[in-house]
Each structure stands twice: as C-alpha cells, then as structure tokens.
Amino acid sequence: MSSQNWIGGEWVTPNAGTIVIKNPSNLNEEVGVLHLSDASHVRQAEDAASTAFNSWSRQTGAVRASHLYKMAAALEVKLDDLAMIASKEMGKPITEMRGEVMRGVNLLRYYAAEGVRANGQVIPSSEADVLQFTKRTPLGVVGIITPWNFPVAIPIWKIAPALICGNTVIWKPAEFASLTASKMVEIFAAAGLPEGTLNLVIGKGSKIGDVLLEQVTLHAVSFTGSTATGQHVAEVCARRNIKYQTEMGGKNAAIVLNDANLDKTISMIISGGFRSAGQKCTATSRIIVENGIYDRFVEMLIKAMSSVKMGDSLDSSVYLGPVASESQHKSVMSYVNLAREQAEIVVEGGRSESINEGYYIRPLVAASVDVNHPLVQEEIFGPVATLLKASDFEEAISLCNRTVFGLSASLFTSDLSYAHRFLDEAQAGMVRVNQETAGVEYQAPFGGVKMSSSHSREQGQAALDFYSEIKTCAVSYA
C-alpha cells in the first residue's frame, strides 16, 4: 500500500519524496511506500480546515455525534484490517493492536455521546432579570501531531474530542505510522465525514511539523512524542500564544513491597515493562523492590521472563514483537550495551522460535547501578527495565520520585495505609495500586506532572476542557 494525504475531502499524493517502509518483524518484506508532503500541502490543509470550520462549528452536537458514531461503526467493521496494517508497519503484536483499535472505537463512541451532554452551568446573577451562564465554544483549527507507538488510539483520543467540540483538524502522524493513518482516514472518509473537517498531511516532523507549528493559523496544538520535540512544540506555541498540550516521556516506577502478592505482581510488571516492546510512555522502566522480598522477586521474575514469547507481530501467540524502526533499534541497543558494560544483567529473557531478520530486542532487566545512572534516569522506550532495592516504603517512594518525569507509577502491596500514602506522595499524574503502570482507561484523565506533560489532561472529560473555550454569557431580559 502507499500513503496519501486527505485534504478538503480529496486524496492527494504528495511528491516531496518517498520512504519505503519495511516490516520491523521481517526486514525482507516491504509493507508500503510513504509519499512525503511539503509546506504547500500544509497550506492546502489550512485552507480546507478553516473553510470547513465555518460549517462544522455551526452543526449541532447531535449532528457531529452522528458522524462520530458512523466513524466508530466503520472502524469496528475494519478492525482486523487496520490492526494488521499497523502491526506490520510498527511491529506491535496483533492481539495488542486489535485491542488498541477497539479502544479507538470506544473512544469515538464515548466522545460522540458528549455531543448531547450538558456543556455549561447556570450561575446566579447578582442583578434581577439577568440569566448568566457558561457554554463551551469551539476553538477553530486544531493541529494534531502524533507518535507511532499507539498509531490508532492516540490520534483518536485527540481527533474525537476535537471534532465533537466543533473544531476542524489538521493531523500529522509520525512517519512510522503513516500507512496506518492513511488507512484509518480512508475508513473515516468512507463513513461520510464532511470534507475538510479532518485533514491528513503525511511527512517529516522536522519539515512539515515545523511549518504547521510556525506558519499555520492554528487555535490549538495537541502533541504526543519525545520530550525534546514536546519542549519545542511548547516553545513555539507559547511564543504564538496558541493553546497547546504536550504529552512526553516517562520513567515509570513500579514499587513492590514485602507484602505484595508476587504471583499477580510479576505478570503485571512484565506486562507493564514489555508489552509493546516497552514502547509506551507509561511503560514500567524502574522496578523498586523492598529488601525482604528482593531475592524471591528476582527468582520469580527470571522464571517468568524466560517464557515470554518473542516473534513476528502477526503471530497471535506472540507477547513481544520487534521495536518499531531502525532508529529505535539503534537507540534501545545503546542502552542494552550500556547495561552489559556497566550493570548486572538480572535477566535477558524472551523465548523465540524461528524468527526473521527484524528489529528484535530481548527483554532485559538490569541492576546494581547508581540511581543517577542513565539506565535509571533516561527514558529508554524499549524492553529494558532497571531493578532497584529499597530498605522500606520511605526509601521506595523517594526513589520513585527521583526523576524529572512524572507520568505513571504503581505500588504493589496488601497494606491499605501504604496504598493511600503512595497515592498522595508519588509524583505522577497517574498512580495505581496493584495495577500495572500502563493501561489507564480511556474514560479517565490521562497525563503527567513534572517533565512528562504540559500539565493538562487528555481523554475522559478532561479533553473537552482542552478542545473548547468556556464563554461566560449574560442576558438581561428586564
């Protein structure tokens, strides 16, 4: 397949270069070709989105909702097709990918329902015969910049609330998720989404991403990706006074106390650390274990990790696929080599039968490094986690907070008082007891503190605050 832009309701094949995408599970297989855009395509998308805003923003919430319901239904019908393209394009195991597309379907339905929900408050006026109230109004054209690691769910958790609030969208997906993006928009287009409401522009972040940020009249930008790019997005938006939200990195800790139920804990640590090959901003990348249980924990972890099945992303029995791309492989392997040189390798697990040449990295847990070591402080975004020992809860929580990031954190315990102290004291936007660090539900707010985010929240009701403006209205009827 090949990628195309969808601008103003028309398919356009841009001609500013091509990239051949290879299957990260099998580098001998070409999955498709990306056609890259230049600044002119971004300008076309700007024209289309701003024209469409005039009509889309005036539709009732119920009409906008009917479109989101159709998008959801169409996506559900094509769930398997889209999941397969995404698995081949960026290597996420097919069972996980199917779950991700279903999350997209649910998100569309959730936000569709917002079209007919109360969206303001009546506030008593101090004057007689005055009705004072608030209502949500759309912002305008929204720029959405997304990463490759959740190629379906992240775009939808931005696009769906943006559309239901009455905005129109210019979407720039990551290069390594652009075939998936094209396919997804094809599904939405066939479901009758009005022209210009959603515009897809495919290309390199450094080229068209910057044109979008610097030159287009945007009313909001929502970004998920690396901390460095997120900082850049925030700087440009602050200078242009554009409303923005940035979701960036994590270095999420899972704390295991002496009284944790280890049978349940181990599987959640492995899932948090190694599903999606650790390429989630909420992945568990530090495992902090209390002294008294450390040896037993390590023994059980080694055993469990030896049976984690690694292989081709289209094999539905595979737990761990490859990492997404050559640059990902290079970057994660630099940490694997660092661990081999400077740390104790607790376990390098993963069981693989015959696998093709691909970007596979065996899941690895390292220990015996100082808390300031890059393995403990830097986001690796791959199947590599670091194990740290804590003498008690106090030390565990202090280690947990000793990072510039603050996205998600977990505690495994059967002690309710520690559970509640953790929920208060862990410096993270999402704090979870006896649950893995990843997997926050779509109807709940998602986001981080410290360097993990720009302090707003996505998903749930929180997204509506970002994608709309609150107007304070007063009507005198005296």
Alpha-carbon 451 to chain mean position = 16
How big is the chain by its Cα radius of gyration, in Å?
23
Task: Name the token pair of 294.
Answer: 């450390």
User: Which residue, 210 or 469, has its beta carbon nearer to ligand ADP?
Assistant: 210
Q: Which of 259, 262, 274, 213 is nearest to 396 (CA)?
A: 259
Minimum CB separation of residue 210 from ligand ADP in Å reads 5
Q: Which residues are catalytic?
A: 247, 281
User: Which residue, 335 or 422, has its beta carbon nearer to ligand ADP?
Assistant: 335
Residues 6+ positions from 326 with CB-CB distance below 8 Å = 359
Minimum CB separation of residue 207 from ligand ADP in Å reads 8
Minimum CB separation of residue 298 from ligand ADP in Å reads 31
Side-chain half-sphere CA neighbours of 408 within 13 A: 28
Residues that bind ligand ADP (CB under 6 A): 145-147, 172-174, 205-206, 209-210, 213, 225-226, 229, 232
Minimum CB separation of residue 347 from ligand ADP in Å reads 26
Phi and psi for 26 in degrees, rounded to 5?
-155, 95
User: Which residue, 150 or 418, has its beta carbon nearer to ligand ADP?
Assistant: 150
Minimum CB separation of residue 172 from ligand ADP in Å reads 6
Alpha helices in 28-167 (DSSP H): 39-56, 61-77, 79-90, 94-114, 153-164
Instruction: Return the SS3 of 141.
Output: strand
DSSP 3-state helix, strand, coil percentages of the chain (rounded to 5)? 40, 25, 35
User: Which residue, 356 or 377, has its beta carbon nearer to ligand ADP?
Assistant: 377
Q: Which of 3, 112, 133 is nearest to 67 (CA)?
A: 112
- The answer to whether 363 touches 274, Cβ cutoff 8 Å, is yes
User: Which residue, 224 or 468, has its beta carbon nearer to ligand ADP?
Assistant: 224
